[in-house]
Amino acid sequence: MRRSVLAFFFSLSFAAWSSADDYPRNPAIDAIHYRLHLTINDSSEEIQARAEILFEFKSDGVKTIPLDLAGLSVDRITENKRETTFTRTDGKLTIALSGDYRRGERCWLEIEYHGRPSDGLIMGKNKFGDSSVFADNWPNRAHYWFPSIDHPYDKATVEFFVTAPTHWGVIANGKLIEKTNLQNGNELSHWSEAKPIPTYCMVIGATEFSIINVGAAERYGDNVELSYYLFPKDRERGLKDYGRLKQITEFFSDLVGPFPYEKLALVQSSTRYGGMENSSNIFLAQNGFSEDTNAHEVAHQWFGDSVTESDWHHLWLSEGFATYFGHLFFERADGRDRFVTLLSKDKEAYLKDYSSDPRPIYDPGITDLMKLLNKNNYEKGGWVLHMLRHLMGDEAFFAGIRDYYETYRDRNALTDDFRMVMEFHYGQPLDWFFKQWIFEPGYPIYDASWNWNETAKELTLRVTQKQSPTIFRMPLDIAEWHQVAFAPLTNDLPAPRDVGRDDRPAGRGRLHQALREPFPQRQQHGDVMLAMDARHIICGAVPINSWDACPSP
């Protein structure tokens, strides 16, 4: 999602975040499908609900199924239509099974419940004072309104059967299967998502909508219907400001793989975030009219929704990817300058933040999941991909990205899964790269000095890294710039030696790389300039980035 300044205020009022990613995974069961029946209305915040959940057993003899469910009153539970018993403790609903199940067998649980959700399903008035209901689940708030394994490691398909007042429109994940006027003032909407998605993406939205079909995006001989769900009073603004949705969707389909879901809607909603990437229907803040945000959320459909981190501490696989791929759209559509501007802003934000909170991207010390919405997982995560692209070259990098997506689509992944796919395409180990950029904190702080040998007409450039403890191994571009135009000379320095084991005391400055280049054309001041990282490849501090190889005397 896109963070919102409001997130901070909201986080104060909801104290129910899980403490760490110590979520008790249950390898004996697998949630396959959720069929959620909900009745909502505009006069009360009570819901009447029934959840049918299909489980598959991964071990023999499972006797209980623990689910997440907070608040709400459970009225009745059946196991394959036979009534069963349950207990409730501290956000958990534990259901006793009477069947004798073997590995590979399946069972349906049906849970009837009701009440007023204290979180997750947000009911209230939108900015125009109109009643609305919007789910807002990230990171683990789905279980405030439906029983579930509320963690992204267990993805499932989902159907929603929503009974709502006829003057409301209802949107949910996947494809619209049915809309029936119940002739009692209510309408039944049935939406079905056939691809497994994380619970944090399983959502409904209901209010008075202006529903606008805005065309289709092409996807390998198939089309993805695109639409906007806008508050009627914001119809004109949305039509004007929701941006190049078709181009964005087609760009990622071409670059990464076919768009993963049945449709794509941009939904004006009341999410607490700037935007939330809910699969096939992106929920945008009610005042969020930003093409940057939309590109980020559309990129999440591939990264986050379809390929999902199975551990919260690998969130960069979702947020870093959405950040970088969002920028890639603007590189393609608007040119390199826009792309570099976006990257530079990200780098600046990360470097500034790091000084006050020096932590690595992978940071299991974070126990408040909201604190994962940080500059490491977004800005630095995006930069890690940018640096990897430079290291591997465009061809191998994007082939690796397509392979990673194809391999893990509709599934889960961890950083090592991504690393191994990229190593295959790079043809060399990348453990050092991920270790220094993901699992260790910090960034390189370069310094450089040079001297000129007049007899040999030779320039020696010495580059050092000043930070500690990690010394970064990265190819560093030194560009030579002549007076009038950029020369097509970019000297990628030879692979650096293993400076990570440099045993000189920290803080003295360590030799990173040295370059000796003859410059016979050097004559006078301004003839030859050298620039470090002129192509904006390194996520680090490059305090001196250009030298005149012939300063004035």
- Give the binding site for Zn ion (CB under 5 A): 1, 319, 322
Complex with Zn ion: residue 253 or 294, whichever CB lies closer: 294
Give the pair of three-digit tokens for residue 328. Answer: 């890639």
Least CB distance to Zn ion at residue 296 (A): 5
Least CB distance to Zn ion at residue 379 (A): 12
Per DSSP bridges, beta strands 546-548 and 486-492 are unpaired
Complex with Zn ion: residue 1 or 95, whichever CB lies closer: 1
Contact 441, 470 (CB under 8 A): yes
310 φ, ψ (degrees, to nearest 5) = -95, 0
Complex with Zn ion: residue 286 or 467, whichever CB lies closer: 286
SS3 504: coil
Least CB distance to Zn ion at residue 273 (A): 8
Complex with Zn ion: residue 1 or 224, whichever CB lies closer: 1
Q: Could you check whether the bond before residue 139 is cis, i.e. omega within 30 degrees of 0? A: yes
Q: % helix / strand / coil in the chain, to the nearest 5?
A: 25, 35, 40
Least CB distance to Zn ion at residue 371 (A): 15
**The tokens 């979702």 sit on which residue?**
318
Complex with Zn ion: residue 203 or 448, whichever CB lies closer: 203
Least CB distance to Zn ion at residue 27 (A): 29
Least CB distance to Zn ion at residue 377 (A): 9
Complex with Zn ion: residue 415 or 467, whichever CB lies closer: 415
Report which DSSP code applies to 496.
Answer: P
Complex with Zn ion: residue 37 or 313, whichever CB lies closer: 313
Complex with Zn ion: residue 148 or 323, whichever CB lies closer: 323
Give the pair of three-digit tokens for residue 360. Answer: 């690595």
Least CB distance to Zn ion at residue 283 (A): 12
Complex with Zn ion: residue 271 or 464, whichever CB lies closer: 271
User: How large is the angle between the packed helices 291-300 and 316-334, nearest 10 degrees?
Assistant: 130
**SS3 per-residue string spanning 57-126:** ECCCCCCEEEEECCCCEEEEEEECCEECCEEEECCEEEEECCCCCCCCCEEEEEEEEEECCCCCEEEEEC
**Which amino acid type is present at position 472?**
F
Least CB distance to Zn ion at residue 138 (A): 9
Least CB distance to Zn ion at residue 322 (A): 4
* Among candidate residues 170, 140, 144, the one with its CA nearest the CA of residue 22: 140
In 169-249, DSSP assigns E strands to 169-172, 175-181, 186-197, 204-207, 210-219, 222-230
Q: In what order do the strands lie in the sheet with 82-83?
A: 82-83, 73-79, 106-115, 47-57, 29-39, 156-165, 186-197, 175-181
Complex with Zn ion: residue 382 or 540, whichever CB lies closer: 382
**The tokens 């941006």 sit on which residue?**
243
Burial of 516 (0-12, 13-18, 19+ CB in 10 A): exposed
Least CB distance to Zn ion at residue 274 (A): 9
Rounded CA separation 230/171 (Å): 11
Least CB distance to Zn ion at residue 360 (A): 19
Contact 147, 53 (CB under 8 A): yes
Complex with Zn ion: residue 192 or 318, whichever CB lies closer: 318
